[in-house]
A and B are shown apart, each in its own frame.
Chain A
Amino acid sequence: MTFESTHAAISTEKLLKPAEVRVMPVPRFISASCGIALRIRPDKKEEAESLFKEGSALKADEYAYYHIKTDGSDEDIRCERIEIV
């Protein structure tokens, strides 16, 4: 999950802490800007999404949510933007 502002990233990190989200720099293949991204483990996806839906005041254009698949190498990264429904 990436954010329009650093404040949004930090407040969402706090909100999603129970789902054991991890902060990381926004991957280069998503954006070249220096931003905070949150990494959500597949097994915590639903928990994180429901915490976000219940607790976040962010508008749809203030964050982006991606599903990233990789076989472990940098060459084969499939990145798909998804919605929280």
Chain B
Amino acid sequence: MRIDAGGKQCPIPVIMAKKELEAGAQDVEIIVDGQAQIDNLARLGDALGRPTTSEALGDKFLVKFANGETKVGAVVAEAGSYAVFFNKDSIGTNEGELGRNLVKMAIFTLSEAENIPSYVLFMNEGVKLVTGVEPQIIENLNTLIEKGTQVLVCGTCLNYYELTDKIQVGTVSNMYDILGAMQEVSKVIKL
């Protein structure tokens, strides 16, 4: 079956595809606008055991899911695994520079830690942190990525703050992946 998600913003294509895949549909292919949607669908495919391939289709793209059985159910959390969630560009809500410096110290400390987080997640105003306002944050997040952390950034939020083209580190992501990441680890630390 072919789904037309042309002109649809994240996470709509993911929602449309997920519904069909979880219903067990085969020969699922979906038309999308660009790379962000292709990447999001690839992650969905991997998570559900239905990996994707993609090809150009005129000025759009066609993403095809492999046939097979769709994996359903929760992923078992690895003991000691954790995610760190930033939904503000500060630790705490007071005005001023303290909160921003605390964020910088926190991300630095995580980057030096022996037990690194599986995920660092940015949502709402937190996405401002990955746009280069503080070079140190970009450096330390890159260190974490080299060590294996996944940095997921809410695409809706980047779009809202008109920062989509300003992202300097991490993967543009969606509510599915961010909530999925939270469920996958044994704890989520919200800063």
B-contacting residues of A (Cβ < 8 Å)?
Answer: 6, 9-10, 13-14, 20, 22-25, 36
Contacts and interface: CB of A to CB of B under 8 A. Distances in A.
A10 B105 contact: no
A9 B104 CA distance: 13
Given A22-B108, A23-B105, 6 more contacts: A13-B101, A22-B136, A24-B109, A25-B108, A25-B109, A36-B101
Interface string B109-120: 100000000000
A71 to B, nearest CB: 16
B145 to A, nearest CB: 18
B108 A24 contact: yes
A57 B101 CA distance: 21
B118 to A, nearest CB: 22
A23 B98 contact: no
B97 to A, nearest CB: 5
A10 B136 contact: no
Interface residues of B, number: 10
Contact of A10 (B97, B108, B109): B97
A23 B139 CA distance: 12
B109 A23 contact: no
Contacts of B108: 22-25
Nearest to A39: B108
Given A22-B136, A23-B136, A10 B104 contact: no
Interface in B87-110: 97-98, 101, 104-105, 108-109
A6 B139 CA distance: 23
Contact of B104 (A6, A14, A23): A23
A6 to B, nearest CB: 7
21 contacts: A6-B98, A9-B101, A10-B97, A10-B98, A10-B101, A13-B101, A14-B97, A20-B135, A22-B104, A22-B108, A22-B136, A22-B139, A23-B101, A23-B105, A23-B136, A24-B105, A24-B108, A24-B109, A25-B109, A36-B101, A36-B105
A6 B135 CA distance: 21
Contacts of B139: 22
